[in-house]
Structure 1
Amino acid sequence: MSVKQPNISLPLKLTFLVFSMVLNCMGIVILQLSEQNITYDKLGFLESFKDIPIAIFSLFAVNFISRFGTKKSLIFALMLVGTCSLFLPFVEVFWFFKLWFAIIGTCFAIGKICVYGIIRNNMTEEKSLAKTMNSVEASFMIGIFVVNTGFGWLISSQFGEYWKFGFMSISLISFFTVFLFIKAKIAEPENKSNKILPDLSEFGKLPFILFFAVSFFIIFIEQSFNSWLPAFYKDHLKVNSFFALQASSFLALFSFTGRAITSKIIHKFSLSRYFMMCLFMIIFLLVVISIIQFNFTEHPKVLLFLFPVIGLFLSPLYPVINSKMIAKIDKDKINTFTSLIVIVSSVSSSLNSMTISLLFKNQILTYYSLYILGAVIIVSVLAYFYFKNNAFK
């Protein structure tokens, strides 16, 4: 990882690993709580308790980070995540999951702004930044793989009723990451702001609006898989919980591979062409999946192996489009810009979860792939205008 302080590479990646596990355990929670007679419409709103605090707190987080510093803010967020995850197994009531996800969302807002700020303050060249973003974001995919695989084994074992104790391992990783940050030397940004809310006037221009629109639908697509794919496998393809989680973990494995490969080869390609190529491959795979769903219903299990391949082309989209814009942002505005990215992501995730829960509630999961395909087509159109109508080519 080409940053000025190489000793912070591991804690940065572990930070994304921790937040990946706590954010993407939503699919596991939905899967397990649905067996406790909690309806899908209630579970669909559960994601809002994670995403709304992210959206509300993100702008205020800029001032919080400016006052206390990047390092102290990251340590605070990780300590809070670790402590709450430590207590989660001992609480039985549903409302605590709402509180837990709200705390996780708030801490993620702080964590992501800090991590993006550190990367931007140490990167200058666009493709180098894209390489670094993909490298760090790849650890996010590892977190999805680990959490699905680990909880899958635990749920399917003789100790399945104690599945919530798996969150204690996340606590240990959080505390270890805090230890690494305490030892690490991190250069803090020079600018200190006392404003409660940052200046957003610059981000109302057309290139930014198109960028945020593209980001919105990328997250929309990602969450359609990350949060709901295990439930789709179980409800529509009729596989058990263990296999549903394991099959979903392969999506994360392909996603990690996609980001890892991108970080190695991105210097050789135009970012815009690479982005559009990935989109076309996703559309192709979703069309094949839809044809199988509607015309070859006697072979639904093949979908278990086709959906994960999408991760290979879906995973590079978010870091590539982010790095392309972040490289053009002034360093003193990067925290504000990242906070807007986090807000857009959280709103997209929340709206997607509420709408996709209707497919599950009404048992029309045959349209699951078409639902996602529609979002991919929208991204393709928006991305075309984004790359065509702004100077960041």
Structure 2
Amino acid sequence: MPSTVNRESKTLVFISLICTYVVFAILLNSVGTVILQSIESFGISKTQASTLEGFKDLPIAIVSFLLASWLPRFGFKRAIIIGLTIVTISSALMPIVGGFAMTKLLFLSVGVSFALVKVSVYSTIGLIADTAKQHASKMNLLEGCFMVGVLSGYWIFSFFINPENPASTEWLNVYWLVVILCGIALFSAFAADFPEPEIAPAESSFDSFKAMLSLVWLPFVVMFVCCAFFYVLIEQGLGTWLPTFNKDVLGLSNNISVQITSIFAASLAVGRLSAGVILSKVDWFVFLVVCVVAMALLLLLTIPLTQQAAPTQPISSWSAIPFAAWILPLIGLFMAPIYPAINSVVLSALPKAQHASMTGLIVIFSALGGTFGSLVTGTVFDKFDGQTAFYTMLVPMAILLISLVLYRRAIPALARG
């Protein structure tokens, strides 16, 4: 039987989840900045740099596939502590070892750890939320804090980039600060009293694994998987390559390219924090359809503004930044509510005992979508140009819109409202 926890304990657990998620927000979404700096510092091509997303996302998919259904038996608190410990060690090695190989190893460790953490975090929310509305509220708050972590990450990394010598490896010192943040998250995880998940006494780990795979055959889960895959493809395709787009297409300096990308993260944070209020008054399906259409329109209206040639000298003054650089990141406002909303709908439609298995599927297909999105965008960027790479995102946007319609029709009647 699951353990019961009082309100104060639930609050401490939720704070621990937020601290952990903020650390991973900084690390996971630093890939765009690290791609830009790896191209400069380690002399690699855009196609080579795009593999960093795979080193991050494929381990997430593999570990989630193998371990998600087993984690309730292992313990969510233990999984979070192990994940944080792994990234603490790898982050400490970054400034010591350096090089592109160590960078790939870092993202590999981040991917493995995040698989443990995300399944544990999402499943724990189901244990500390008493109603579907409370679940949706906590989910949006958690994802909003995640985006605040992403936002702060862009500025933290940019402060360690030397604008006079962007190719230097001074930026690697940022990982000492990351180690400190990991320590704070570890302390909060040790201090919190996590509730125990409900586990069928006779259920083996193999039975749990089969239960996760059986979810794939549910029609509304199939359509959810499509929505999650193409959403993350779009988010990572645009977000990961936005710093490089700012530098190569708009002619911004490296540190300014990273800093102004924080508008994208800020837009995502504002969108997710406000989505909880909006979704309490508006049907989630109508709202998400409007968001997807608005994303496509903003992209179509903004990309033509970037067609001018990049200046001969990198732009290092905020007053000289072109208009398009301010507008394009605002796509995050419309993108933000989609992911937590579709996740909350699918989890609310399932019994709490299946949340860990469903979260495993969420993580797997989100990771695959992120890897594919970054590889496609990076390859098109390398072979053609940044505008063509971003225009390519209109295709998954159209598929996402169709998937949302089919998802709405497939989910159980109680989850449609």
TM > 0.5 = yes
Q: 1:272 aligned to 266, 276, 285, which one?
A: 285
Paired letter, 1:162: E
Matches within 5 A, 1:313-352: 313-352=334-373
CA drift of 1:243 comes to 1.1
Q: State the TM-score, normalized to the length of structure 1.
A: 0.94
CA drift of 1:162 comes to 1.7
Partner of 2:317: none
Q: Structure 1: how far apart are the matches of 2:74 and 2:406?
A: 39
Partner of 1:176: 184
Matches within 5 A, 1:32-181: 32-35=37-40, 36-156=42-162, 161-181=169-189
Q: 1:16 aligned to 10, 13, 21, which one?
A: 21
Paired letter, 1:344: F
Partner of 1:215: 228
Partner deviation per Cα, 1:241-285 (whole Å, 9 max, x = no partner): 011101101110111111111123321121112211212221221
Q: Contact 1:59 / 1:198 at 8 angstroms: preserved in 2? A: no
Partner of 2:332: 311
Q: Structure 1: how far apart are the matches of 2:136 and 2:176?
A: 33
Say whether residues 1:378 and 2:388 are aligned partners.
Answer: no
* 3-state DSSP of counterpart to 1:263: helix
Q: Contact 2:70 / 2:205 at 8 angstroms: preserved in 1? A: no
Paired letter, 1:32: Q
Q: 1:195 aligned to 193, 205, 217, which one?
A: 205
Paired letter, 1:248: T
Q: Contact 1:3 / 1:122 at 8 angstroms: preserved in 2? A: no
Residue range with higher mean Cα deviation, 188-197 or 46-55: 188-197
Q: Structure 2: how far apart are the matches of 1:63 and 1:29?
A: 32
CA drift of 1:63 comes to 4.8
The count of aligned residue pairs is 391
Partner deviation per Cα, 1:281-333 (whole Å, 9 max, x = no partner): 21221121134346x77999222011121111111110011001111111111
Partner deviation per Cα, 1:34-82 (whole Å, 9 max, x = no partner): 1132111111122211111111111222255234311111111111111
Change (3 A) 1:297 1:373: farther
CA drift of 1:156 comes to 3.4
In structure 1, stretches of 5+ residues that fail to align are: none
Q: Structure 1: how far apart are the matches of 2:125 and 2:237?
A: 28
In structure 2, stretches of 5+ residues that fail to align are: 1-6, 312-320
Paired letter, 1:260: L
Residue range with higher mean Cα deviation, 275-284 or 15-24: 275-284
Seq. identity, %: 28
Q: Contact 1:54 / 1:342 at 8 angstroms: preserved in 2? A: yes
* 3-state DSSP of counterpart to 2:393: helix
Partner of 1:358: 379
Partner deviation per Cα, 1:14-52 (whole Å, 9 max, x = no partner): 111111111111111111111132111111122211111
Q: Contact 1:212 / 1:341 at 8 angstroms: preserved in 2? A: yes
Q: Structure 2: how far apart are the matches of 1:64 and 1:202?
A: 15
Q: 2:263 aligned to 250, 257, 278, which one?
A: 250
Partner deviation per Cα, 1:131-161 (whole Å, 9 max, x = no partner): 2111001111112111111111220367964
RMSD: 2.1
Q: Structure 1: how far apart are the matches of 2:96 and 2:164?
A: 19
Q: Contact 2:9 / 2:192 at 8 angstroms: preserved in 1? A: no
* 3-state DSSP of counterpart to 2:252: coil
